[in-house]
Structure 1
């Protein structure tokens, strides 16, 4: 393994920053993960059931029956 001074310096800086943030009581919050089914919910609410089923299948890889059942459940919520 080759010594990389840049990586070592970056690791030191990150450790120091972590200690400073911890001392100040700050937390590093990652942005929320995007909701993969937001498009499906939106289409279902608009009454575009077939499109919603297609998008659900693309996101999840499930079969037609499972996607249809899931979209109908979303419509009821």
Structure 2
């Protein structure tokens, strides 16, 4: 058993390093994606082009009109594939 402890510790350390590297990469990619989305938004605004609205987003507006914010967030996530925080923020923007 004592012979296995250093090996187990090494495996746990390797897994920790590997997971932190993957997390760092995903955060870097996420930041780059946000910057690209901001640039596209600026280009569209400069060209005077409005982003086309998905007709299914009207369902979200209908849910918000009925004070069903949680269902609206769920629907937004289904339609866009966004995460919970992103969907909540988007739905709150639509509610204003």
Bin the TM-score by the shorter chain: 0.5 to 0.7
The superposition leaves residues 47-72 of structure 1 with CA deviations (integer Å, 9 ceiling, x where unpaired) of 10000000000000000000000110
Q: How high is the TM-score relative to the length of structure 2?
A: 0.43
* Larger relative contact order (CA 8 Å, sep ≥ 6): 1
The aligned residue for residue 40 of structure 2 is none
Aligned partner of 1:68 among 66, 70, 88:
88
Q: Which has the larger radius of gyration?
A: 1
Q: CA RMSD in A?
A: 1.7
In structure 2, stretches of 5+ residues that fail to align are 1-52
Runs of 4+ in structure 1 displaced over 6 angstroms?
none
More off after superposition, 47-56 vs 34-43? 34-43
